[in-house]
């Protein structure tokens, strides 16, 4: 959950997820739709799918436990070098260096590492430094402390250098160039997409469709959606345009045009879901924004 998401946003989801699926076997045996429903709102849904696949793999190959081996961990779905190293250090107290966003910031400033943090050449430098400075005696405490140092002291804006335990050896501090490190990432170009959505509500139930495997929000439940207003109106429904809203994803800006339906909606696989029971259907956060705007319209 902490991949690409801040701790403060994860806490509520983590508690809900682990209460519903407290063990690796519970996760492995769960239906994918249940896993995605518990993940709804966190985004980057491939993380949930990979987590589910990893649990199944561990159940079959490693007696329902995570392997205590870096290469075996990295072979599991969704676990890269840094996540595998974090598991090795924090779960098994092994001296494996980690490299999350907070650690990159600390290293970039302390060692004056030039280049965008996620460029291959910059990452190579970061990993070399991490390996050279890894802690052998107390690796779990060291790795946790290093992440906390970046999250709470060596922050992106207004770092607390007066509280930093390594400020005397920080090269960016010595040269007064802290704000320039790490170098800013280039903005990701976002494609703008128009979506035309049918919103039908009756008896406090919403008409939803499962989305296909490909495209935006695969396997999640959302409003019936079309590429154009003409395609929407060709469904022979009595729909009228009500409002529009914009929803931003990493690589796309979605302009969603919402058409309310006064008559029946006859589409394959359509289900009526009670608004108080939406949590049982995995859905993108955009659905909640649409319903909120509808209520306020």
What DSSP string runs through 223-274? Answer: --EESSHHHHHTT---EEEEEEEEEE-SSEEEEEEEEEESS----TT-EEEE
CATH 1.10.1670.10 fits 96-186, yes or no: yes
How many angstroms separate the Cα of 201 from the Cα of each of 4, 30, 79, 271, 291? 34, 30, 41, 11, 10
Q: Which two tokens stand for residue 291?
A: 């319903």
> Quick one: pLDDT at residue 143?
94
CA distance 76 to 57: 8
CA distance 68 to 80: 15
CA distance 247 to 290: 10
Q: Which residues of 129-161 are buried (b: 16+ CB within 10 A; e: fewer)?
A: bbeeebeeeebbebbeebbebbbebbeeeebee
Give this prediction's pTM.
Answer: 0.82
Quick check: 41 pLDDT over 80? yes
Q: Which two tokens stand for residue 230?
A: 């003409």
Domain range summary for the chain, segments of one domain joined by +: 96-186, 191-296
How much of the chain, in percent, has pLDDT values that exceed 70? 100
Identify the CATH number of the domain defined by range 191-296.
Answer: 3.90.79.10
DSSP-assigned letter for residue 36: H
Listed residue (195, 191, 205) closest to 244, CA to CA: 195
DSSP E strands, 73-190: none
Is there a cis peptide before residue 246, judged by omega within 30 degrees of 0?
Answer: no
DSSP E strands, 123-234: 191-199, 201-202, 205-210, 221-222, 225-226
Chain segment 170-189, per-residue pLDDT in tens: 999 999 999 999 999 877 78
> Quick one: pLDDT at residue 124?
96
Chain segment 133-164, per-residue pLDDT in tens: 999 999 999 999 999 999 999 999 999 999 99
Q: How far is CA 43 from the centre of its chain?
A: 5
Quick check: 237 pLDDT over 90? no
Chain segment 195-236, per-residue pLDDT in tens: 999 999 999 999 999 998 888 999 999 999 999 999 998 887
| Mutual angle of helices 7-20 and 32-39, in 10-degree steps | 150
């Amino acid at each position: 959950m902490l991949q690409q998401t801040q701790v403060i946003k994860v806490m509520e989801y983590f508690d809900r997820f682990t209460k519903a699926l407290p063990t690796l076997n519970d996760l492995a045996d769960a239906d994918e739709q249940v896993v995605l429903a518990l993940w709804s709102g966190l985004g980057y849904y491939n993380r949930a799918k990979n987590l589910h696949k990893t649990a199944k793999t561990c159940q079959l190959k490693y007696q329902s436990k995570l392997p205590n081996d870096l290469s075996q961990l990295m072979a599991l779905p969704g676990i890269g070098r840094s996540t595998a190293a974090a598991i090795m250090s924090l779960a098994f107290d092994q001296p494996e260096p980690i490299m999350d966003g907070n650690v990159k910031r600390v290293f970039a400033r302390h060692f004056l590492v030039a280049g965008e943090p996620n460029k291959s050449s910059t990452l190579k430098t970061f990993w070399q430094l991490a390996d050279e400075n890894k802690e052998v005696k107390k690796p779990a405490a060291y790795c946790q402390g290093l992440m906390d140092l970046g999250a709470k002291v060596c922050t992106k804006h207004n770092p607390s250098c007066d509280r930093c335990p390594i400020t005397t050896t920080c090269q960016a501090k010595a040269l007064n160039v802290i704000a320039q490190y790490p170098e800013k990432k280039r903005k990701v170009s976002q494609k703008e997409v128009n979506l035309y959505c049918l919103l039908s509500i009756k008896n406090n139930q919403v008409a939803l469709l499962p989305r296909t495997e490909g495209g935006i929000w695969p396997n999640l439940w959302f409003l019936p959606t079309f590429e154009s207003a003409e395609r929407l109106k060709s469904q022979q429904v009595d729909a009228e345009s009500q409002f529009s809203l914009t929803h931003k994803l990493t690589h796309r800006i979605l302009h969603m045009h919402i058409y309310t339906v006064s008559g029946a909606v006859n589409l394959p696989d359509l289900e009526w879901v009670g608004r108080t029971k939406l949590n049982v259907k995995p859905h993108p956060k955009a659905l909640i924004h649409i319903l909120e705007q509808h209520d306020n319209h």
